[in-house]
Structures are given as structure tokens and as C-alpha cells.
Chains A and B, each alone.
Chain A
């Protein structure tokens, strides 16, 4: 198991390096960073000074070397707009996104697993049909529309919750609710179909022959077997949220990585964009590693 974690971490480092190469050279391909970083009307002397100070006159490969060296110390350089280290700026936003993603996925998983399992017990029953309709609608709803509708109805119309920003637990309700919908619909569908397979399996028949109660059959015998595909899909959805729920964070003025990234791109704050990409990809690599470990934990036949 320890060897597996090590091996996977090394592979992750390789992909991470690939990502670095891509991001660094692509950002250079888009043109002279000095032209991007500085205002359009900056005089040539300012540009030259900027280039000199930033080492932009060095050969590209040595710039990349410097970039990697700094990166190893989590030094992405200063944010141009905020006059602070870019890494600090990202790390301020990241906990917000992590909290948003964590809370949303916790709700998604607990809701989808319980509802999906109950729907699977009686296929074609009233409960199953209702949950199928709900999950289909939820999985197909566009989040920008949901976000605007939610603000329109619950914040502006009814005034139950604030429209945007942070500060109180109330501020979390709308972003979490809007982010919840799509993953919930998708995961619910996967739980349902995976549970139907598990409940019709031979070992469930054995459990019934042993006299095990239906609740234990569903949630002890079938559920654990049904969880593998659920974790795969849930992990995929969680990755989307960690990447920064760009639209939802922007609409609700939520200070997470998604909003930071969009703002920084618009402000041409490339050090921050770079730092944000690195932090979120690290988070996603870590999460994928945890998912692999969860597989092995759930299914003894999987050993690394």
C-alpha cells in the first residue's frame, strides 16, 4: 500500500511537471509578458526596466529553470495587481473553494446514496419514479441559470438569504444549493443503477436466506458493493468544484479560486493565474490518490 502511494505520487509529479511546462511555455507563446503585464501606454523605458528586473531578457530555458527553482519554494513571484506574493493570494482564496466543494459534495453524497438506495429497493415504484425525474432534471439544469433564478427568487424576491458575498452562514446557502444540483442528479443516477445491480446479486439472495433484515441487506450488503462506480463519478464532480466553480463563485461574489482566476485573467495577473492552476491541480491529484485508496478500502479484491 505504501509503495502504491509512493508510485502514484511520483506519477503525479510527472504529470504536474508536464502541466508546468505547458502552462509556462503557453503563457510565453501568447506574447511578451512585459506587454501583457504592463499598461498599454507604458513607455519603452519602463518596459525595459520591467524586462530586466524580471529576467525576461535571459534565454527562455534559463527563465524556465528560475521558474522551477522558485516554484520548489512555492514562490510564484508577486501578484502584479496586489503587490503581494501570488501564492499568498491564492492560498487566501483556496480554503473558500475547498469549503464550498467539501460541503457540497458531503451533501451530494449523503443525499444521493440514501435516495438512490431507497429508489433501487423497489424499481418502478412511486419513490423510484419520483427520484428518477428529479435526478434527470437536476443533472440537466445549467448552473448559471439556476444561480440567477435562485438569487431572483430567494434573495431578491423573498429576501430570505443575501444575494452575494460572505460573512454569515446564510451567505453559503445559495452557492452550495446551486452547486449541489448537478452533481446530485448525476450521482443519484449512478447510485440507483449500481444499487439495482447489487440488490439482484447472488450474495443478496444468500443474505435473505440467512434472515438478514431488508435495511441491513440494502445498506450493509449491497451498498458497499455498489459504491465503486459512485466514488468514480463523485470524484469527477468534486474535481470540477475544486477547479473553482467559476460561474457560481462569480455570480455570488464568493471569494474562491474560481472567481480569483477569472478576475486575474481579466486583470492579466499571470503570476496569480499560474499559482492558482498549480494549487488546484495539486488538490485534484491528492483527491484522486484518496479515491484510489478508497477503492482498496471498500473492495478487498483491489490491492495495489
Chain B
């Protein structure tokens, strides 16, 4: 059998934190050959990134420590190599790109300099490195590369920054490219462009691609083989078709079942009821930037309207304008016979309880120094008539039960919960106000797939039980398919299409909606290559 270009055998990594030892990775083995794509699939905390960091010698020691195992590159042992020789391999033979390219590019140096540095450190003369950097920028699709090489990372868009990271990795035509969640922070249409680029480059250079991701759609689209990790261990490994179509391990089965956007679309039970919230002609400028242009839509009682759009589409701005976290420049929001935009602060205060928000990142939206009981009951202090003081505890426990948490959770603090549990707390907090409308601003975007489906199921049951109406803001369509009655698609501050969820998914009219749908990846390897990016 031929030697694998990269091989990891029985790798175990532990982290020493605050008196505890966490085994982040246990006995992980995999190998990668030239020209193939291996995906490591896992949710947060599964150890997938730690495994990749170990290959790149990026684990800080302390607190991390590789306790056992071997990592070989072309038969050479990477773990017991002199530091100088080890460094020669990084960036030259094995290169890596990361999730958040803005943070991973140095903000104070020009991008051309940074790309050239990857070659200079391995001995290429400065002039050659500079010329090659510009050629690489052109190759990854940066126009006017000669000029743009002098620009700084903040002067590029998210997709362009990831292209720059890729250019930086390609300097010496590496044998292995490790891509750690390379498209997670990107819009769907941009994601597909970047994935296509990686595929092209892999075929062109014959490098092996090690793709680390939580997204089954990305795995289905890109990988030849896949390994599935859970809680630091490899639970399943095989050809991507076998893994996704015939998973043998219970965890993989659960993961695949949780992928949003499968099965038949539920048909809306909402008839032609009167709208409870009418948004009309909202406009908002940020300086010269026109963020919202005549945004109008209705929300009926007990209905879920999804607002879908990519970054900069104005979907969050719309939500903030409705609850008047930011005032719109013009337009109206009619609720209960009154225009929210025209109310004084005092009048708005009385209506605020009716419209509550749940934000994207519960780690930031929940005060870390308040217990769950305090977080949920805080608003009752302000709106004193909702729950009488003596019944606070009882009501908090009811709410916790409603969102699937335990009574003993009331006295804990946010950091003691997982991401999904924290979002449940945020939902309980919103429900405490007995709202008629809840606005979820990307409320499930930061959650793992399996947790995401649980939270959506929770929201679904709350809608049925309590009759709350939802405005559900999301950047990708599949999540919306399982939950929304109607969908509003936004682009650059304009509603480009609005319709029933079945119509949007089965017969989209506007080209942009079609492009969004075409770019959404499904967890089905048979759909590979059928997705199109907008500009392709």
C-alpha cells in the first residue's frame, strides 16, 4: 500500500483548565492522500478543530498536551521533529485556512505583504514572493491584484478575505490544505463560490484537502470520504455516500435527521386573519447608505413570517426598527390600531411587553452576572402588573418547564449552560412578558444542527400552545422551510419576494430567491455539483 501523505494515528489531546483535565480528542485516526477531500464532520466541542490544530502544531502547551499518538507527513514523524524542521513544513507542505478570515489576517499589514511573507519565510527572495503573491491573488479571483495587494484586510469583503487566505496558503503548492470551517461565516452564495474555488485548486494542484466542518451540506458537496466526530472520538468513517446515506452510528443518524429542510413542507393553517402587525414603507439610512427601502409586510396572529437575506440585506435593521431599538427615518408600524413609530417613549414602553426579541448569541445577550431566575424575572420589576411579586418563583419554574429546562436551573448562571440551553433561557425571558409577537433575530444560527432542530421544535410548540406570532430572521433558507408560514426575501434593503412558504420553496419567482435556493447545500451527495453560485 502506498504511503499516505498525511496520517494521524491514535491521537489524544488533553487540556488542563481550572484544575480540570479535559480530554478534547481521544484516539483519533485518519489519513489523507493527495488529490482527495476528507471531511471531518462534528458539532462544537467534538474535537475536530483540535485534531487539525495538532497537525499544524498550533496547540498551545500549556494548557494543551498531546498525550499519545503519531502524526506523520510522508512517513516523517511531525510530533518528534526539531522545531526548525517542523516550521519548514508549516505553510510550505501543509497549509491551513480558518473560519473568520478578518480575524486571521493581520489588520496592520497590506494583504500582498502577508501573502508574500508565507513564501519569504521559507526562503523565497522578496521580489519573487511579491510577484507570486500577485499572481496568486489573481488566481483566487481578486481583480486588479497589483493595486489591491497594497490594500489592508478591512478593505475587502468577507468572501474576498477568504480568497486571500487561500492565496496565502497556496504559495508553495502544498501537499495538504487544511480548511477549518472555511465558509461558516459567509453568505450562502459566497460559500458556494469559495467551495468551488477550493475544488478547482485541489484538482489543479493535486493537493489533499482536509475539510473541517459542522455542515452536512458542505460535506455532501465536497468530500470523498468523511469521518464523524462526537465528544472527542471518531464515531463513523467511510466514503461520503455511505456515511450520509447509510449511517451506522446512532450519533450520525441523529445528526442527519436533524438537518433542516427535509421532508414535506407543512401547510400553513393561517387563513386570511386580520394582521396584528402591519409594517408599511419603512426607510432607514445610515449616513449615505440606504439600509431599508420601503419595507412593507403584514404579520397575522399566530403566524410565523420569516425574513431571509444575506448580510447587509436589512433584515435585522427591520427588526430593530419595529421594536424601535433604532428608529426608522420614515414609514409606519401599525400594531393594535396605533403606529409604533409615532408613539412617545412612554407610550412605547407600555406596548413593549407585547413584542419581545430573542437574539443570535445568547452568550452575549444574557447578563453573565445574573442568575436565570433574575434574568427571567427582571422585567416583572419594571412591568409590575404581569406577575405579582409573591408568584415570581412559581412562574419562573413554569416558564423553565415550558422551554424544557429543569427547576434547579433557576439559580444557575448563564455560563453553566450549553449554547442551546442558553437560547432556551433567552426564549423563556421573552415569554415572561406574555408577548403576542416574538422576533427571533438569527436565534438559531449560532447553534449546532441537532440543537438547532430542538430549538425550532420548541418555538413551533410555543406557537401552537400560546398562539404567539413570530418574525423569524435567518440568513439561510432550509431552517425557515420547517418553521415559517410565509417568507419575505430581502436583498440590499428591499423586499424582492414575499409569499407562502410552499410557493417560495417550490416556485420562487425572483431571480435572487432562485439564486439563494440554488446555492443552499443539501446533505445529499447525489445533489453534488447541481448547486450554482449566483455569479457563476
**Residues of A near any B CB (own CB < 8 A):** 201-203, 205-213, 216, 221, 224-225, 298-301
Contact = CB atoms under 8 A, between A and B. Distances in A.
Nearest to B86: A211
Contact of A206 (B105, B108, B154): B105
B108 A299 contact: yes
A209 B56 contact: yes
Given A209-B58, A210-B121, A213-B87, A201 B103 contact: yes
A234 to B, nearest CB: 18
A-B CB proximity, top 4 nearest: A202-B103, A210-B91, A211-B91, A211-B90
Contacts of B58: 205, 208-209
Given A209-B58, A209-B90, A202 B100 contact: yes
B357 interface: no
B118 interface: yes
A212 B118 CA distance: 7
A298 B152 CA distance: 12
Contacts of A213: 87, 121
Nearest to A216: B121
B152 to A, nearest CB: 4
Contact of A211 (B92, B98, B109): B92
6 contacts: A203-B105, A205-B104, A207-B106, A207-B117, A209-B91, A210-B168
Classify the interface of chain A: helix, strand, loop or mixed: helix
Nearest to B178: A209
A206 B107 contact: no
Given A203-B107, A209-B91, A300-B152, 17 more contacts: A202-B103, A203-B105, A203-B106, A205-B98, A206-B98, A207-B106, A208-B56, A209-B58, A210-B91, A210-B95, A211-B89, A211-B118, A211-B122, A212-B121, A213-B121, A221-B106, A225-B108
A206 B106 contact: yes
Nearest to A201: B103
A146 B57 CA distance: 48
Contacts of A212: 91, 117, 121
Contact of B107 (A208, A216, A301): A301
Given A202-B100, A300-B152, A301-B154, A209 B95 contact: yes
Contacts of B91: 209-212
Nearest to A224: B108
A255 B459 CA distance: 77
Interface string B398-433: 000000000000000000000000000000000000
Contacts of B87: 211, 213
A201 B88 CA distance: 22
A216 B118 CA distance: 12
Contacts of B106: 203, 206-207, 221, 225
B96 interface: yes
B411 to A, nearest CB: 33
Of residues B88, B106, B152, which shows the largest number of chain A Cβ atoms within 10 Å of its Cβ? B106
B52 to A, nearest CB: 10
Nearest to A202: B103
Interface in B466-512: none
B158 to A, nearest CB: 14
Contacts of A224: 108-109
B105 to A, nearest CB: 6
B118 A210 contact: yes
B105 A210 contact: no
Nearest to A297: B108
A24 to B, nearest CB: 43
A18 B108 CA distance: 37
B280 to A, nearest CB: 39
Contact of A203 (B57, B103, B121): B103
Contacts of B90: 208-211
A210 B107 contact: no
B107 A299 contact: yes
Interface string B72-92: 000000000000000111111
